[in-house]
Amino acid sequence: QACTYPCQCPSQPLQCPPGTSHVLDACGCCKVCARQLGELCSLQKPCDHHKGLYCDFSKIHRGSGICLAHEGATCDLLGKIYHNGESFQPTCKLQCICMDGAIGCIPLCSDDLRLPSPECPNPRRVKFHNKCCEEWICEEGSEENRFETAMAVFREDPAHKPELNNLQENCLVQTTEWSACSKSCGMGISARVTNDNPQCRLEKETRLCMVRPCDFPVEKTKKGKKCVRTPKPRQSLHFEFSGCTSTRSYRPKFCGSCTDGRCCTPYVTSTVEVEFRCPEGDFFQRKMMFIKVCSCHYDCPRDNDIFLATYHRRMIGDHV
C-alpha cells in the first residue's frame, strides 16, 4: 500500500498482547503490533526486530512474508528446547522469550498489594478455579470492626470517621526503604512499597539505578584506607535504558570499591525524574536513583536481572 501524508493513525490506543512490541510501519507513520516468530508479515505489518526477527519474503508471494529469527543459541527450560526469538508460556502466569540462549519473562498476573481502606476493610487474595491469577476480594465485617481495620492506615479523628472523598487527607503514609539495585554494574531496578497516592493504596514503585558503569575504572586506595572515595565522572554523560537515551546529560556519583572483601553500595540516595528519548521518536519518563554517599559492608547484593547472560545487550526500543 502506498504511504499517504500527513499520517492518519487510529485515535484509539494500541492494544497488543503481553510481550509484543509497538513498532513503526513502513511509512514511519503509525505504531502497530509487531508480528511474532512464524507469523505472516509485510511492510505494513513488520516483524518484532527487538527480538531479532525479520520478514523473509522468499517463501510467500504477493507482498507477504513470514517472520523468521536470525541465527542464535536455543534455550533449554526443564528439558524443553525453544528456538531463538520464540515466545512461550511455561505457566499461565508468565510470558517468556528465548533470546540467543537467554530466557527472559514478564509476569502476566499483577503483583499489586492492597491496604485496608474504608471501602475495603479486609482485602484478601483469592484463587478462582476458572482463572489463572488470584484476585482481590473485600470481606465484609461488622460496622465497628470495619473502621477499626481501616484506622490502621488512616488518622484517627474522633470528630468523624474517614469518608471516601478525603482519603488523601486522612491517609497515614507508609513507605518501605528502596531495595538494593538489581545489578552491581550497569542499569538496574530498585523497588519499594508505598501508599503515598490519592487512593491510599499500597503499591509497588520502581526506579532505575546505576551503582557504577560496567566499564568504570577502579581507582587505587590510599595507604591505610579501606574504601575508595565515591567517584564522579569528569565529563557529563547521558544515561541509556533499553536503547533510549536521556534527553539531558548528568554528572552522577558512583560507588567505588572496598579493599577488604566488603561491598561498596549506595548508603544515601535521592530519586529524580529522568526523561528518555528513543530512536523511534518516543519520549518517556522514569524515576532514577542518584547516589549521594556510599558505604562498605558485608551484606552483598546479588545480580537478579532476568537476562543474566546478556547484561551487555542493547534491546533497541523495548521500552514499550
Quick one: pLDDT at residue 217? 63
What does the pLDDT look like over 267-308, one tens digit per residue? 889 999 999 998 877 788 999 999 988 888 776 655 444 443
Quick one: pLDDT at residue 309? 35
The larger pLDDT score, comparing residue 150 to residue 246, is at 246
What does the pLDDT look like over 181-199, one tens digit per residue? 888 888 899 988 888 888 7
C-beta neighbour count of 241 within 10 angstroms = 19
Pairing of strands 31-33, 53-56: unpaired
Whether the bond between 252 and the residue before it is cis, its omega within 30 degrees of 0, is no
C-beta neighbour count of 213 within 10 angstroms = 14
208, pLDDT greater than 90: yes
71, pLDDT greater than 90: no
Computed over every residue of the chain, the mean pLDDT equals 77
Burial of 55 (0-12, 13-18, 19+ CB in 10 A): buried
Q: Report how far residue 267's alpha carbon sits from residue 252's, in angstroms, rounded to the nearest whole number.
A: 15
Q: Report how far residue 34's alpha carbon sits from residue 48's, in angstroms, rounded to the nearest whole number.
A: 5
Quick one: pLDDT at residue 228? 57
Quick one: pLDDT at residue 35? 92
The larger pLDDT score, comparing residue 239 to residue 102, is at 239
Q: Are 289 and 208 in contact (CB under 8 A)?
A: yes
What does the pLDDT look like over 220-265, one tens digit per residue? 555 545 555 556 777 888 999 888 899 999 999 888 877 777 788 8
Pairing of strands 203-209, 188-194: antiparallel
What does the pLDDT look like over 156-185, one tens digit per residue? 554 444 454 455 567 778 888 888 888 888
Q: Which of 111-120, 167-176, 205-214, 230-239 has the lowest mean pLDDT?
A: 111-120
pTM above 0.95, yes or no: no
Q: Report how far residue 120's alpha carbon sits from residue 249's, in angstroms, rounded to the nearest whole number.
A: 45
Give the chain's length: 320
Return the CATH architecture of domain 187-215+225-303: Ribbon (2.10)
Q: Where are the domains of the chain?
A: 75-107, 112-138, 187-215+225-303
| Residue 249, all three cell numbers | 546529560
Q: Report how far residue 32's alpha carbon sits from residue 226's, in angstroms, rounded to the nearest whole number.
A: 54
Quick one: pLDDT at residue 210? 92
